[in-house]
Chains A and B, each alone.
Chain A
Amino acid sequence: GQQLNQSPQSMFIQEGEDVSMNCTSSSIFNTWLWYKQDPGEGPVLLIALYKAGELTSNGRLTAQFGITRKDSFLNISASIPSDVGIYFCAGREGNAGGTSYGKLTFGQGTILTVHP
């Protein structure tokens, strides 16, 4: 099946530092999504990317859809304690009407710890 590798698995940073994480897939994706999961909660969508090369920001978060369509990264600038959580990338492989349409493949997650 689809392989989606997310790195790093965990990060321990100081408040104020920038953070970068990325995902790579074994095949082409048509959509990349980035989710954050707070402790005891379900994942919440942060950013959605729909076109190769697309760069999108949401506050201190910036994500890019790789040109090869096989990777994406998420940057967090000037981290704060509430950024703590697990960050997941997710991708969709198929096109509209295809059997995989509407199904997402998730990365393994990046656990972020921010020290005050």
Chain B
Amino acid sequence: DADVTQTPRNRITKTGKRIMLECSQTKGHDRMYWYRQDPGLGLRLIYYSFDVKDINKGEISDGYSVSRQAQAKFSLSLESAIPNQTALYFCATGVGDGGRMTDTQYFGPGTRLTVL
């Protein structure tokens, strides 16, 4: 079984709809991240959470919200989807051990979201 899972893998929705993307992990990591990937722009950080009670905005948080329901679950919501939110979304986990491993992030398989 995959260590980091994302659901759904693909989603097509319409402008104005509310969408939730789910991420679950079995790695036991305390840190979780949401990124979006656009062609030619690499991966950009939307939100990150260092533990269940800690939520932080990334560089492109506008139009998104998150919920850390448990250590293993981190969901991303688009309250009112718009076409320029069409992208590939990745969840990642990491270890907050204060050492070198803190820099390593493990990615899920991605969710392809299309907003019409």
Q: Which residues of A contact B (CB under 8 A)?
A: 1, 4, 6, 9, 31, 33, 35, 40-45, 48, 50, 88, 90, 92, 96, 101-104, 106-109
Please indicate the chain B residues that have their CB under 8 angstroms from the CB of A35 in the complex: 107
Residue of A9, A42, A88 touching B4 (CB-CB under 8 A)? A42
Min Cβ gap B108→A in Å is 5
Chain A-chain B contacts (Cβ-Cβ < 8 Å), number = 62
Q: Give the distance in Å from the alpha carbon of A110 to the alpha carbon of B107 in the complex.
A: 18
Main secondary structure on A side of the interface with B: loop
The segment out of B14-22, B44-52, B75-83 that lies at the interface is B44-52
Residue of A1, A50, A88, A108 touching B40 (CB-CB under 8 A)? A108
Min Cβ gap B87→A in Å is 14
Q: Give the distance in Å from the alpha carbon of A106 to the alpha carbon of B45 in the complex.
A: 9
